[in-house]
Amino acid sequence: MQKITIKDVALKAEVSIKTVSRVINNEPNVRPALQERVRNAVDELGFKRNQLARGLRGQHAYILTLIYSNPNPAYILELQNGALSQAISEGYNLQLHPINHNSENVIEEIKALITHTAQDGLILTHPLCDNKELLEMLDKKGIPFARISPFGKEHPSPCVFSDDEEAAYQMTKYIISLGHKEIGFIKGHPDFGATYKRYNGFVRACKEYSITVDPSFVKQGLFTYESGEFCARELLNQEHKPSAIFASNDYMAAAVLKVATQLRINVPSELSIVGYDDSPVSHQIWPSLTTVKQPIKQLGANIVKKLILHIEKKDFEEIQSQLDCQIIHRASSTISSH
């Protein structure tokens, strides 16, 4: 089947190519009669708006690309849902592009993406959103982009983030309020800025309440279930055990619960466990997990709003926005018996 071009639409409607462009991009000052002719021609020929973007330099593709490298599928799904819903409401489509942030070819892969596929702008998730070489490349090429939860906020690109440090601080205060003084902590992946913010919040709360952070109680996870299980075995098989464990995400917290069950450690009477993210797993297991609820869907919707404003060169109310987290109290935590 022959590909329909903008020229075909212009010939069918008996107008110029420029008029077709203005009508499809909803630009003002086009006579209603001409608008109707162009739209009828578009419908009859089956012309797609993204074909217009490929055929006209400087025109919109009405496509945004979400680029991610994240071991937490629930986080990405929730983020995608928020971003897609907002994009559709504003007349845009959303495409997803997973990428390994540790790849030696990450810059070349994203160069190929923006060269060979149509899109108006990119949404960068962490840790890609902190890759200085990537940001410099996009700036040099003039590609609009916006960032979700960057560790550094010095770059002038639009961004949204939740206050991971404050949320972890509040969660640690809650654990302490239950009487726990021997608290284990499982860090997230070292490549992610959120890892350091959550640990910093934990340490700040402990210092405020004069609780010593025992190095043997702090383990390096990777935001994966498997890493959480490994860290939990180290924490719970040592002679001196914590009475509570704060895992940096729910998958690792769920793994702690598994290990505790295998070791016949009762949760929560002998061990309180808390997580982070409010992923589906947090309420699908028993005891259900006390956790920090991130506004992940709102992060996705908010970043799409900002990116479209950036693409369309409109003014921002806030180029950087911070969204609040919430502690969700469930069955996996209780008053310390130690």
pLDDT tens digits for range 200-226: 999 999 999 999 999 999 999 999 999
Average pLDDT over residues 310-316: 90
Label residue 90 by pLDDT band (50, 70, 90). confident
Average pLDDT over residues 66-82: 88
Strands 291-293, 326-328: pairing is: antiparallel
pLDDT tens digits for range 100-137: 888 888 999 998 888 877 789 999 998 999 999 999 99
Strand partners, 218: 185
**CB-count burial class (<10 Å; 0-12, 13-18, 19+) for 184:** buried
User: Is the Cα dihedral 77, 82, 168, 153 positive or negative?
Assistant: positive
111's tokens = 């160069």
More reliable by pLDDT, 151 or 159: 159
More reliable by pLDDT, 153 or 107: 107
Right CATH for 6-55 from 1.10.260.40, 1.10.10.10, 3.40.50.620, 3.30.70.1450: 1.10.260.40
Q: What is the DSSP letter of 216?
A: G
CATH superfamily of 164-294: Response regulator (3.40.50.2300)
| DSSP result, 154-188 | -S-S-EEEE-HHHHHHHHHHHHHHTT--SEEEEE-
Given this model, what pLDDT does residue 4 score? 74
User: Domain spans of the chain?
Assistant: 6-55, 63-162+296-324, 164-294
Report d(CA 65, CA 97) in Å as an integer.
Answer: 7
Average pLDDT over residues 285-309: 96
What order of strands is seen across the sheet that includes strand 183-187? 218-220, 183-187, 244-247, 272-274
* Cα 109 to Cα 76, 114, 122, 278, distances in angstroms: 20, 9, 14, 32
Least confident residue range of 19-33, 73-87, 250-264, 280-294: 19-33
Given this model, what pLDDT does residue 51 score? 44
Q: Look up the CATH number of domain 63-162+296-324.
A: 3.40.50.2300
105's tokens = 């070819």
pTM over 0.95: no
* pLDDT reading at 54 higher than 60: no
Given this model, what pLDDT does residue 321 score? 94
Residue-averaged pLDDT of the chain: 90
C-alpha 37 chain-centroid distance: 42
Given this model, what pLDDT does residue 61 score? 77
pLDDT tens digits for range 254-290: 999 999 999 999 999 999 999 999 999 999 999 999 9
126's tokens = 């962490």
Q: Do domains 63-162+296-324 and 164-294 have the same CATH topology?
A: yes
* pLDDT reading at 48 higher than 90: no
